Copies of this chain bind each other. A is one copy, B any other.
Amino acid sequence: MTSEGIASDQTEAVLGDYDVIIIGAGPAGLSAGIYASRAGLECVILEKGVPGGQVITSPMIENYPGFAEVPGMKLMETMAEHARRYVDIKEGEEVLRVRAGEKFELGTSSGRYTCKAIILATGSSHRKLGVPGEEGMTGKGVSYCATCDGFFYKGKEVVVVGGGNTALTDALYLVSIGCKVTIIHRRAEFRADQHLQLSVKQHKIPVMMDTVAEEIVEGEEVTGIKLRNISTGVVKTMPVNGVFVAVGEVPSSQLAAELGLEMDPGGFITVDRSFRTSVPFVYAAGDVSGGIRQIVAAVHGGAAAALSCFEDLMNPYYRKI
């Protein structure tokens, strides 16, 4: 065995050869599996952990039409069960490297897979504040998605932490719902677009600049956040019911980079309306492809990617560049 991936690849067992391999078993990957398999494609879903993606961290989902109120974990178990009727989900199977050629070759910790097409549904992760209390209170007052969880905080006192477009949009969203919102930002100026800044002013949303979160008060539910003004050094605890963290979203696009896919400056994969990427026979769906980071968008992306993949594999003129 050499230390070079390519040479060692050749000696590894081929664990499977498929029409299409779907990477990731969140809502996008599961939907892709249902649609690809129903279209008659041989496919498999490779998931580095367990199915469900980020949704499983949500205590309650209220905006996936058809499920008025469902814990994220339960919804994703239901969706995974649905997908398993059609497609095998290999859990704990992380794709470590990918290479394009006559066929695509994927290397995992267990071995090697080959396929004619790939659907990337690798998701993204929320950038964290990294302060005490944050992890323990996630789902109990700490949220990374105003669109998802805002509704639970109607009439309550919340802070939004961040200064970009997402943070200001989230603040406006929460105000619109009827929350009492304060924006906490570590710098003296916002990065967000001018119109969002003006709108925040017009809505008279209180803003604390030069301020960082130091700790989220732990308990049954969030009751407060400890803040430090970095220019004055003053520390105080502000009583709040909710902390919306909006300091960035990190797409899991390492494999996309290996494949040379076009991405936006934030690392989200560029897709067209059919969820094709810039490389033939590679598709992307769900959070890694940007757009609104909602379950509805993920299931659509997965389905559309699978149908595009079917069309391309059937097209005798469509070839790898």
Q: Mark A39-63, 1 if CB is under 8 A from B, else 0.
A: 1110000000000000000000011
Q: Mark A168-207, 1 if CB is under 8 A from B, else 0.
A: 0100110111100000000000000011101100100000
Rounded to whole Å, the gap between the CB of A239 and the closest CB of chain B is 23
Which residues between 282 and 319 of chain A lie within 8 Å of chain B, taking CB atoms?
A: 291-292, 294, 296-297, 299-304, 307, 310-311, 314-318
Apart from the given pairs A169-B311, A196-B315, A300-B301, 16 other A-B contacts in the complex at a CB distance below 8 Å: A38-B62, A38-B150, A39-B173, A40-B177, A65-B299, A67-B82, A169-B314, A172-B314, A195-B316, A198-B316, A273-B273, A291-B304, A294-B300, A296-B299, A297-B304, A299-B300
**Residue from B35, B67, B291, B311 within 8 A of A63 (CB atoms):** B35
**Which stretch in A73-81, A105-113, A130-138, A220-228 binds the other chain?**
A73-81
Of chain B, the residue at the smallest CB distance from A151 is: B38
Contacts of A299 in B (CB 8 A): 64-65, 296, 299-300
Contact flag A27-B65 (CB < 8 Å), given A176-B39, A273-B273, A291-B273: yes
Q: How far is the CA of A320 from the CA of B314 in the complex (A)?
A: 45
Of chain B, the residue at the smallest CB distance from A165 is: B311
A interface list, Cβ under 8 A from B: 27, 30-31, 34-35, 38-41, 62-68, 75, 78-79, 81-83, 85, 147, 150-151, 169, 172-173, 175-178, 194-196, 198-199, 202, 273, 291-292, 294, 296-297, 299-304, 307, 310-311, 314-318
Contacts of A178 in B (CB 8 A): 40
Contact indicator A67/B65 (Cβ below 8 Å):
no
Contacts of A150 in B (CB 8 A): 38
Contact flag A176-B68 (CB < 8 Å), given A35-B63, A199-B315, A316-B198: no
Contact indicator A303/B63 (Cβ below 8 Å):
yes
Q: How far is the CA of A34 from the CA of B68 in the complex (A)?
A: 10
Rounded to whole Å, the gap between the CB of A237 and the closest CB of chain B is 29
Contacts of A273 in B (CB 8 A): 273, 291
Contact indicator B199/A316 (Cβ below 8 Å):
yes
Contact flag A79-B63 (CB < 8 Å), given A31-B296, A300-B299: no
Of chain B, the residue at the smallest CB distance from A78 is: B66
**Residue from B176, B300, B307 within 8 A of A314 (CB atoms):** B176
Of chain B, the residue at the smallest CB distance from A28 is: B65
22 CB-based A-B contacts, threshold 8 Å? A35-B147, A38-B62, A40-B173, A40-B175, A40-B176, A40-B178, A64-B299, A65-B83, A66-B66, A66-B82, A68-B81, A68-B82, A173-B310, A176-B310, A199-B315, A292-B307, A294-B300, A294-B303, A296-B302, A296-B303, A297-B300, A299-B300
Q: How far is the CA of A175 from the CA of B180 in the complex (A)?
A: 57
Contacts of A194 in B (CB 8 A): 317
